[in-house]
Amino acid sequence: MLDRRKEKILKALVEEYIETAQPVGSGAIARRSGAGVSPATIRNELAALEEMGLVEQPHTSAGRTPSGRGYRYYVDRLMTVGKLAGSVMAGIRDLYDDRSVPVQALIRRTAGVLSEMTEYTALVEGPQLGRATFKRLELLEVNGDHLLLVLLTGDGLIQTRLLERPPHIPAEYREAMITSLNSRLAGRPLGTVATRDLESVRREFPRALTLVESIRGTIEPSDAVEGEGLFLGGTANMLKQPEFQRLEKIEGILSLLERGRILRDLLADSALAPVDISVTIGEENRHPEMRDCSLVTAAYHAGGHTFGYIGILGPCRMRYSHVVGLIAAVKELLGRELLRRRLA
Amino acid sequence: MLDRRKEKILKALVEEYIETAQPVGSGAIARRSGAGVSPATIRNELAALEEMGLVEQPHTSAGRTPSGRGYRYYVDRLMTVGKLAGSVMAGIRDLYDDRSVPVQALIRRTAGVLSEMTEYTALVEGPQLGRATFKRLELLEVNGDHLLLVLLTGDGLIQTRLLERPPHIPAEYREAMITSLNSRLAGRPLGTVATRDLESVRREFPRALTLVESIRGTIEPSDAVEGEGLFLGGTANMLKQPEFQRLEKIEGILSLLERGRILRDLLADSALAPVDISVTIGEENRHPEMRDCSLVTAAYHAGGHTFGYIGILGPCRMRYSHVVGLIAAVKELLGRELLRRRLA
DNA sequence: CCTGGCACTCGGCAACCGAGAGTGCCAGCC
DNA sequence: GGCTGGCACTCTCGGTTGCCGAGTGCCAGG
């Protein structure tokens, strides 16, 4: 709860620091904030802001930099979210226009575009089997030894798996089993299909035990697909940030970016916050490697169903207004696009 | 064509430098090489080696470092390729033992393991559609609006694609078209299936024009799947190398590593050399960003068919003998494993 | 309550210096 | 002739010093 002038000063300071990456002096703020007061006055206000823990001084005779709490105040109350230029929006929409591009490639390109437009690192997770609903299963005969299992989900995801064909099972028996399975599981979220759901099928078709087991293995979201459908863009951009010139800092971050599982949790966690777009700043992050980073995330969805997540990772000194605006736009476009591709 | 003593000296110098990353002095070589001569003699020999362009001096009063040509000589004639410890081999074999792990995940893990074992960056490319042979095509009815195209290849690769269902085409007509297509393309390498191959099918089944077109789009190796099936491991390892403490150098490398297309060409190019395992050292690399790197690559195959490529990227000061030994082992194991999973 | 003035603090940079590592060369030895 | 110990020389590296400039905190006056 700052007074009007302190807010102006904090805003000017944060924005100047975001641009220059240099501690900001009272003179620069006086020039930029439009508060119409002299640097000396600004200095008094800055001392107060420092008292409140919103700004800090790297050392006595330097300017001020925003603290984590300072950024938080800025993000929550001061920044004006940037509207994207129409041309930019059009560019993104073009990206999605080609229906012949498979979903995986779409997600990958999104990560690329986001990282290029921000000069930060982009994370995009595509639709995941575990979040989708069961629609239908098919078994195709590939040759004498193998069957192809095809799993269709309500989102239009397709999962295939090659199985060794269990001997001595007539095709009709198999078909009946599949039919039973399909009617039993239709519409169920795959994440919740557990062993006991297949119990009755197993009892009904005892000769197809191994087949049912294979099916369970395919349906069940497993660690084997960790990293599947998660794309990064612009990891090298991290090196461009002046705050990451120290290699120790960046090594931790890059190592973290290789851990698909962790990234996934990161995206899902922050995106389940009550807000539309979540911003996690510096020390608010759970992983110590990320304490110099901020992460902006959002889920994209349509028709009440979450398809996936997008996120931008950059330094605390991130262009929040730009990034939030961009995420908001891409979240919309991507959700809409995946809805278009979804099966009716 | 060096004499015996010069070879001993060069070998000792390269190996010492690989271990320490420091220019190597005549004293260290005298101690290590086992040539039984004094440092002064070593110095004379070093002067000769420098004359020949095999070693160089960062500055007058430092020790010597190997030049690109020096590494080349070492790799071609001096190094003894390391045999892997049995326990290591067993560890890798365990990785592959679980048949339920899908091929994609297998490739991904291989990249992870290679990077961990070397502390360098690993590139692994899995089986690619473009290199596989056509086996069979199936069309599944998903619902009123969509068909699922399933493409099976001789390697056991499966490619699926959701198509909008063309209206007013009877199922039998479609089936006949697919049958004709299957018999016509069976055994053909997918990379060589061109538009004209489908011409006769198109003429024979004029009502299925759009369908044939969609099929062509699926079969044809396209840029849309760029990066598909290519996995990196340990990109952050690059930062650990003392030669890459300068950020400028590493930024170029990391940016390159984000370009799937380039990596792919890199792997394929060097692996088509007449040798089993290809080593590209420093300036021999085509990309200027890689002039401080060496790349060791190999194709893995079985039954006369190339499945994919593996590679290790590290600094010129790379532990060649270890890396080459490892690549040789993994190449074997991976080829054998994919053969096991291949369709009969 | 604001402001100009002023003394003060501190980091960064350049210059400097000595220590240490390693060289090239030479004269002597086997 | 080839090898070796000795020696003067070169160059980098780490630490120290001194200066400059940016920015501050405080105070007295408006």
Written in H, E and C, the secondary structure of B49-66 is: HHHCCCEECCCCCCCEEE
Distance, Å, B132 CA → C18 C1' = 68
DSSP structure string for B7-52: HHHHHHHHHHHHHH-SPBPHHHHHHHH-----HHHHHHHHHHHHHT
Closest nucleotide to the alpha carbon of B62, via C1': C22
Which residues lie closer than 8 Å to A39 by C-beta, 6 or more apart? A25, A26, A27, A29, A30
Among B142, B226, B227, select the one facing A152 at the smallest CB separation.
Answer: B142
Q: Tokens 């437009």: give the residue.
A: A117
In B123-152, the residues whose Cβ lies within 8 Å of chain A are 136, 138, 140, 142-146, 148, 150, 152
Residue pointed to by tokens 């089936």:
B175
Q: How far apart are CA B257 and CA B231, in angstroms?
A: 10
Q: What angle do CA A29, A35, A36 make, to 5 degrees?
A: 100
The reported pLDDT for the residue numbered A343 is: 57
The Cα–Cα gap between A178 and A183 comes to 9
Search chain B and give the residue with CA nearest A216: B100
Give the nearest nucleotide to A39, CA to C1'. C3
CA dist., res. A173 & res. B13, Å (int): 70
pLDDT tens profile A26-47: 999 999 988 889 999 999 999 9
Residues 40-69 of A with CB under 7 A from strand C: 40-41, 44, 58-62
Residues of chain A found within 8 Å of residue B235, distances taken between Cβ atoms: 235, 254, 258
The answer to whether the CB atoms of A217 and B146 lie below 8 A apart is no
Residue A234 has pLDDT above 50, yes or no: yes
Strands B277-281 and B121-125: unpaired
d(CA A23, CA A67): 11
Residues 6 or more apart in contact with residue A169 via CB below 8 angstroms: A207, A208, A211
Q: What residue of B is the nearest CA neighbor of A240?
A: B251
Protein-to-nucleotide distance from the CA of A53 to the C1' of D26, whole angstroms = 22
Does this model's pTM top 0.75?
Answer: yes
H/E stretch holding B125 reads: strand B121-125
Task: Please tell me which residue of chain B has the smallest CA distance to A229.
Answer: B228
The answer to whether B202 and B209 have CB atoms below 8 angstroms apart is yes
How far is B178 from chain A, CA to nearest CA, in Å? Answer: 15
With 50 as the cut, is the pLDDT of residue A169 above it?
A: yes
- Ordered per-residue pLDDT tens for chain B, 344 residues: 889 999 999 999 999 999 999 999 999 999 998 888 999 999 999 999 999 999 999 988 889 999 999 999 999 999 999 888 888 888 888 888 877 777 888 899 999 999 999 999 999 999 888 888 888 888 888 777 788 888 888 877 888 887 888 878 888 898 899 999 898 888 888 877 766 777 888 888 888 888 888 888 777 766 545 557 899 999 999 999 998 888 888 999 999 999 998 999 999 987 777 889 999 999 999 999 999 999 999 999 887 788 899 999 999 999 999 999 999 999 999 998 888 877 54
Of A104, A162, A225, the CB nearest to B158: A162
Go through B184-207 and write b for each residue having 16 or more CB atoms within 10 A of its CB, e for each that does not: ebeeeebeebeeebbeebbeebee
What's the pLDDT score for residue A238?
A: 94
